[in-house]
Chain A
Amino acid sequence: MKRRLPIGEDTLPIAEFEGRYITPTALIQLKYMGSQSISEPTARLLIERVRRRIEQDREGTALSLSGLYPELSPEQILEHMELGDEEGQKHLLAERKWLEESIKILEAEYGSLQ
């Protein structure tokens, strides 16, 4: 079974191009057109992805064995990400890992997108 982006993920921004967010489809099209200027994911982009996922009711509640924040709702996750505290950094890291994984899924089908 071929790996694919989960439902709804293709509507989220995956990179930035000339100051605008771009979706996976646009990223692939730009790559085929020869554009090179895909930048590293910023915190702004990662936060925007989570914000839109929440709008689509697709962000889950996070449980952890942390003494400080054992349970965070999607909205609380977003608050910490925007705040940039240690908990927020964890969620930024998780979102960054998933973004990189998403690009790998696309590259498996469309070739290098970097």
Chain B
Amino acid sequence: MAVFNSMLNIMPYNCRYCVGGYLGMAHVSDESLLRGVQLIELRKEQAEKGPVWQVLQNQDPVFVNGFGHGNRGRYTGDSETDIFTSEDCSILGGRVVYLLSCLTANELGPAAVANGAIAYAGFIISWTWMAVDIYADPYTDWYAEGFYRASNAFPNALLQGFTVGQAKDKSIEEYNRWIGIWETERADDKYAASAIKYLLLDRDGLTVFGDTTATISSAAGVRTSLIVMVSPPDKIHTNELFTIKGKLYEHENGDWLADQAIELHELSEHKILGTAVTDGDGEWAITTSLTKGEKRLYAIFNGDNTYGPSASQRYEVIVGFTSIEVITEPESSVEVNERVTILWRLIDETTNVGIGGALLKLIVDNKLETQYITDVNGYWGFSISFPEISRHTLRAEFPGTHDFVSSDTKDYRISVGILPTIGNTTLPPPERRRYINCQSYIKGKRVEVPENGLLESIVVYGEWLPGKVQGAAYKWVNDNWLELIGVTEIQELDGEVGWILLVFGGKEKINKGDTIVLCIHSSVSSTVLYDALVPVGNDGMESGQSIFYYPQQLTALHWQPRDYSIYAEYIKEEVSEMIHKESRESFTFRVVVQEEEHDTLTMVTKGFDQAIPGESKTIQVGVRCAVNGQACNLQGKTVHVLDQWGTIIGTGTLGPWNPMFSYYVSGLITATAPGNVGEYTWDCVFPRQ
């Protein structure tokens, strides 16, 4: 018989979709400790068939709790190779199993029970969830939290002493609770419907086989509590002694428990680090040391015939910790194909000596880019370039070894080929700008900068168009960069200076206080790189006058091969012309050959011309017979309101003849305006009847 009050957590990590499950299962581990259940965790590369079967054979936990990729007859581990299959699952005999995996309840679950498993719970569908950040603890993620809490409710209920059947009910309750949250307080979230439908899918896909009355707990004695008064340190040097102290007491009446054995466990290596016996005040103390690595410790009282088990919380201790020292930091902004060079050094923080021969991983955009071995002094350098305009994050990871704890750097953000935008940021956005007597602004001639970054002088020319602002600009290169480095005469195009000439044409005077904006636009990134006000003289500008503009800020910009255009905009916030909006009204008619079918006329007797997104509006529709008018009684007939897709969004019934309109007019029909801003046309339809 398997060992009660004991569980195995199988926690793969390698695949990016498993990271959430890995972090989510830590909450089940916490629950097991809280309940005094002996916990065995197989994490990351340990989450494979060999270690799993070895633990099941040797330590024999009654409860197997795992997540990871699966299929109808397979459950896989860290390397996505099989741990259990429907043909090879006899090891699950005598155990309760919960697998957060896809489809395994179709074949693996029934096979496990046929092979003697007490009970099996899993999913007949692909367990589906949503997340803002797939790498975050799902309990902190806006979308993932509900999915993982609902799934964890199953193992947590078993740990709390509930039966398999009750655990299923608890899990379904938690799915329902989250469905309720998305249908109430989070109903205004734009992805609420998606979240609900996958919660429904997962909830209904949870399937249990075998003995639903089974539990994973032995008969409980008097409930006890184990507290820690002196915790272990967060970080400690290898083989450094430390002491953990605590007390054991009866939970209900607080009486200290004397002469009881306490064990200090280490989860990673499944070791008992030390034991102690409580004194007359229930106090215990264990002094020990640790080898290098990330250790997870907890103290446990295993209970006996009189007292039930209890455990302390879990403590994570880093031993023999390392750090990655950044010798040369990467540039935050580089050009396309420019090499980014970084030099790092891996250090043993205990001795402050570099760690040679260690594997370091370069992670770019959260994916493994490459890996290197540090030199004898722990140094590690590399360079990388990016072929396109883009943004990236970059960090180094030391995954740790048997002797050293893992460490990583912060994320470095790198912009590639993205110029800083400078200029006046208080301008009205383009959609609010108005152009007097213009259909649009004047665009400059497009210029191609060659691959080597060199550009011959002429860039932009202006075109005289009556009533519009005319822009003319020149700029040229210095060395490998296109730069504006000064200002001289118009005629000098010698590659040393730069300016922009604006000539104002048309009949209108540009008044003091009016705004001229100079823009430089990149057709590659479709962004305005430069957007600044051009000062107009105090007396304004007459047609035919010109102004030199010296955009000093342009000298701060680095240019690179791409297309640019320069244009000027004359902004006037007030629109001088009255514009009448398009209006329309639809009607429906029918061409008939049968004499008894009469044409009808439809009229919108009450519509609306404006609504806010999602607003509930009312519409009234009138219909009359085109042949006989009032003589054909249409009262009681149906009319519909159709949206822009032709969907019926409102329906009403025609009332009596309305002499004011000379139509049979419906009651008020309610319909909801679209959720997005825009102009829409709806139809009022009198269907053939």
Contacts and interface: CB of A to CB of B under 8 A. Distances in A.
Given A62-B130, A65-B69, 6 more contacts: A5-B187, A23-B648, A23-B671, A33-B653, A62-B198, A93-B201
Interface residues on B, range: 35 or more
Contacts, number: 175
B177 interface: no
A107 to B, nearest CB: 14
Nearest to B147: A63
Interface string A1-40: 1111111111101000110111101100110010000000
Residue among B100, B129, B186 with the most chain A CB within 10 A? B129
B101 A7 contact: no
Contacts of B614: 7-8, 10
A105 B183 contact: yes
Contacts of B80: 67
Nearest to A15: B648
Interface string B626-659: 0000000000001011110111111111000000
Nearest to A26: B648
Residue among B186, B193, B196, B642 with the most chain A CB within 10 A? B193
Interface residues of A, number: 49
Interface stretch (B43-51, B120-128, B351-359, B418-426): B120-128
Nearest to A17: B648
A26 B649 contact: yes
A7 B71 contact: no
B126 A66 contact: yes
B649 A6 contact: no
B194 A20 contact: no
B366 to A, nearest CB: 13
Interface stretch (B323-331, B397-405, B672-680): B672-680
B382 interface: no
20 contacts: A8-B614, A8-B675, A10-B672, A11-B643, A11-B674, A18-B687, A23-B671, A23-B672, A33-B651, A59-B191, A64-B102, A64-B127, A65-B101, A93-B201, A94-B200, A97-B197, A97-B201, A98-B196, A98-B197, A101-B197
A4 B675 CA distance: 16
B190 interface: yes
A62 B193 contact: no
Contacts of B194: 53, 58-60, 62
Contact of B638 (A33, A53, A61, A87): A33
B130 A29 contact: no
A71 interface: yes
A57 B651 contact: no
Contacts of B589: none
Interface in B169-187: 179-180, 182-187
Contacts of A62: 128, 130, 194, 198
B595 interface: no
Nearest to B672: A10
B134 A63 contact: yes
A63 B196 contact: no
A20 B647 contact: yes
A70 B189 CA distance: 24
A95 interface: yes
Interface in B349-401: none
B561 interface: no
B26 interface: no
Contacts of A90: 125-126, 128, 201
